[in-house]
Amino acid sequence: MNRSALITGITGQDGAYLAQLLLDKGYEVFGFVARRSSDTRWRLRELGIDSHVKFIYGDLVDESSIMRALKASRATELYNLAAQSFVATSWDQPVLTAEVDALGVLKCLEAIRELDTGVRFYQASTSEMFGLVRNQQQDESTVFHPRSPYGVAKLYGYWITVNYRESFGLHASNGILFNHESPLRGLEFVTRKVTDAVARIKLGKQTELRLGNIDARRDWGFAGDYVEAMWLMLQQDKSDDYVVATGETNTVRDMCRIAFEHVGLNLEDHLVIDSKLFRPAEVDILHGNPAKAKACLGWQPKTGLPDLVRMMVDADIRRVKSEG
C-alpha cells in the first residue's frame, strides 16, 4: 500500500531526519513549510533529499492551509514537528510561541477531525514540560511543571492531543522527547553553540566560548535515532504517549569537555561564564526513563553522548573550513 506523510517543520533538524527515514521506507513525503525569505532547506540538502520532498506552503496559525495540505498530500500520517522551539526565545515572544506551539496543535487535530479521522497524528512533545522535576527520572506518569512559555505551550499541545484521542477516537500519539542533537542542530541551541565554537577555536577563528549555567544536567541523544521512535508510534494498533530518551544524564560541562578534548584543547582555557545567559527559571535536571518505548515499540537509542558530540564537532570543523 502506498503511504504518504505530511511533516510540519520538515526543514528543522527532526523534520529532515524523519523525511529521510520515511523516504527510505518508500513513503511519499510532503513538507508543510511557511514562506520565508531566508534559506531554510539546507538540512534537507545536506542529507541529499531536498529534491525528493514535495513542498506545500502554509502556516500552523492558519487552519485552512493545514486542511488544504492534508487534502493535497492525501496523507495517511501527519507528523507535527513545527514549533517555536528555542526556550530563550519563548520569553521574548511568548504569544507567538503559544499560537504556534499550542493552538497550532489544536488546528492540526481539528483539520484531521473535519477531513479524515483515519489520519494518524504524531505530536512532538518535549521534556521541557517536566520543568521543575519531582522525581529522579521522568517517565509518562511524572507530574508536569513547565518552567518557560515554551514548556507551557507544549503542555497544551500534549493535553489537547490526549483529549482528541480520548474524545474522538483519533490515532494521536505524543512523543515526549528529551534533548536530541545532531550536526543539523541550529546554532541557537547549546550543543551546537559549543561544537561550532570548538571548531572555530581550533581553527583560530575565535578564542572563547561564552555560556550560562554549565551545571544543568540533560539527557542527550541523537536526533537520527529519535525519529525512528516517532515512526514506530504511528505503526502501533493503538495510539499512546511515550518518553524517548537515553536514560543517561550529563552536565553541559561534561558535554563541553568531550568536545574540547576531541580536538586536543582544554575547556578551562576558553570557557567564559556569562550571567546574562542564565535562564529566568532554570531547569536543573532532565533525565528520561524510556522503558515504555523500549518495551512497547522495541526502540533503543544507538548513539551515546561522546560519539554524538564528536560527530557534531567534526561536522562543524568541515563547515568552518569551507567558509575559507
| Ranges in the chain, pLDDT < 50 | 37
Q: Name the amino acid, one letter, at 226.
A: Y
Q: Name the amino acid, one letter, at 234.
A: L
Q: What is the pLDDT of residue 274?
A: 85
Could you tell me the strand order of the sheet in which 28-33 lies? 54-57, 28-33, 4-8, 77-80, 120-126, 172-177, 241-244
Q: Which 8-state DSSP code applies to residue 60? A: T
Asked if 101 and 84 count as a contact pair (C-beta separation under 8 A), the reply is yes
Q: What is the pLDDT of residue 37?
A: 46
List every span in the chain annotated with CATH 3.40.50.720.
Answer: 4-180+222-244
Helices first, then strands: H and E counts in the chain = 12, 13
Angle at 85 between CA 230 and CA 289, to 5 degrees: 45
**% of the chain residues with pLDDT over 90:** 88
- 221 three-state secondary structure: strand
The CATH class for the domain spanning 186-219+249-286+303-315 reads alpha beta
Cell of 187: 546554532
Cα separation, 15 vs 124, in Å, equals: 11
Q: What is the pLDDT of residue 284?
A: 78
List every span in the chain annotated with CATH 3.90.25.10.
Answer: 186-219+249-286+303-315
Q: What is the pLDDT of residue 55?
A: 96
Asked if 229 and 288 count as a contact pair (C-beta separation under 8 A), the reply is no
Catalogue the active-site residues.
126, 128, 150
Q: What is the CATH number of domain 4-180+222-244?
A: 3.40.50.720
124 bridge partner residues? 175
Q: Which 8-state DSSP code applies to residue 85? A: -
For the purposes of burial, counting CB atoms within 10 Å of the CB of 295, is it exposed (0-12), middle (13-18) or buried (19 or more)? exposed
Q: Nearest-CA neighbor of 283 among 124, 152, 94?
A: 152
Q: Nearest-CA neighbor of 90 among 149, 47, 177?
A: 149
For the purposes of burial, counting CB atoms within 10 Å of the CB of 179, is it exposed (0-12), middle (13-18) or buried (19 or more)? buried
Cα separation, 46 vs 44, in Å, equals: 5
Cell of 83: 514549533
β strands within the chain, DSSP E: 4-8, 28-33, 54-57, 77-80, 120-126, 172-177, 180-181, 209-211, 217-218, 221-222, 241-244, 250-251, 271-273
310 bridge partner residues? none
Q: What is the pLDDT of residue 126?
A: 95
Q: Which 8-state DSSP code applies to residue 143? A: P
Q: What is the pLDDT of residue 7?
A: 98
